Structure 1
């Protein structure tokens, strides 16, 4: 007769849970594993997870681009972690040595206005489509009201395209930014394909 297991001394079998950073629905997994948003326990967990990803520390300095690159890196980490909007500034400020100084030095209103104007008047000119897409994406962060509306974003992107490319894209009346970009890139992709087939 097999001996009965003593429930008090038998260790429960360990179950492994997938990390919210692995794959699958990150926000769904986060909700299941982490405590409720806003609770002290949840905030501590987020801070630990954020620091474990070794975000860069910004020490200051006169270079605007350095500050912008720092923000890009921080945003990438926050996106991967699926951090809610209301927590992002708090987490990012952990990696700043002087938050007030950073905001006043690197993102004064005059710079934001200038970048917004640059975005509004952006045209492709002699850029290839991929360069135009990259520039459009980079400057779009300064005009969130424009890119928030998908249709306005599409129109803004199309208006900046060179006339010969716009003539191929606009009549299709595409309604999503990703489709417009894909269509604008098509001639470039076909050219690359032709070059590859002759090589």
Structure 2
């Protein structure tokens, strides 16, 4: 008898589609908000318009108000730039139309909100104005202002030098440095406390001063124990 041939392991025939389950289809793309929808929501917030006329603070206030609305809506850069064009009127509208037309097409398509703000600031908030504000911040003192007025002025000016007051400690130090001597003398010992407490101490000292001596008083009252 002839020897039998050894058979190897049986290989099952594989047909198309039997290797494994096919990969699941990719998820459908998220629906993009309709342009008219988010512009409609934007207009409901009563956004301010800007004509390019007036002093630099007007342009700064316009940008800040728009940013509050955009942050509330959660707008993307593209949506912000689409909405903001509706708020430019008069000379500002002609300026931006000319700026876009003369801008490099690649940069125009990739323009971000921060870049748009830089364009607005370069045009309507000149560098000379911003430099003057920086000098004003460094030389800011309470002088004849009440503590609340001094605090408000200081907070308004921090936007020109955010890197110098980037912590609560730095903000408190700057506030104390500009206080009138009679108030600063009473608050100086309270080192290391938050800005809100430094402000509270200064308000207490000011309130305790006689009305006719609040401008100059060489002997400030002692702070209460709870401070």
User: Which bracket does the TM-score occupy, shorter chain normalised?
Assistant: 0.5 to 0.7
CA deviation digits over 1:51-105, x for unaligned, max 9? Answer: 21111110111422332333343355456x2758978974774433345663223
Structure-2 residue corresponding to 1:142: 160
Matched residue of 1:141: which SS?
helix
Q: Please list every run of 5 or more consecutive structure 1 residues that lacks an aligned counterpart in the other structure.
A: 1-35, 193-199
The change in CA–CA distance for 1:145 and 1:64 in structure 2 (over 3 A counts) is same
Structure-1 residue corresponding to 2:133: 115
Q: Does 1:49 align with 2:41?
A: yes
**What value does the CA root-mean-square deviation take over the aligned residues?**
3.5
Matched residue of 2:48: which SS?
coil
Matched residue of 1:60: which SS?
coil
TM-score, structure 2 length as denominator?
0.54
Distance in 2 (CA, whole Å) between partners of 1:119 and 1:154 is 14
Largest Rg, 1 or 2: 2
Name the count of aligned residue pairs: 154
Superposed structure 1 runs of 4+ greater than 6 Å apart: 42-45, 84-89
Matched residue of 1:123: which SS?
coil
Alpha-carbon offset, residue 184 of structure 1: 1.4
TM-score, structure 1 length as denominator?
0.61
Task: Give the helix-richer structure, 1 or 2.
Answer: 1
Structure-2 residue corresponding to 1:71: 63
Distance in 1 (CA, whole Å) between partners of 2:135 and 2:59 is 20
Alpha-carbon offset, residue 183 of structure 1: 1.9
The change in CA–CA distance for 1:105 and 1:174 in structure 2 (over 3 A counts) is same
Alpha-carbon offset, residue 50 of structure 1: 3.0
Structure-1 residue corresponding to 2:203: 185
Q: Does 1:61 align with 2:53?
A: yes
Superposed counterparts of 1:1-199, under 5 Å:
40-41=32-33, 47-78=39-70, 81=72, 83=74, 90=81, 93-94=84-85, 95-96=87-88, 97=93, 98=95, 102-189=120-207
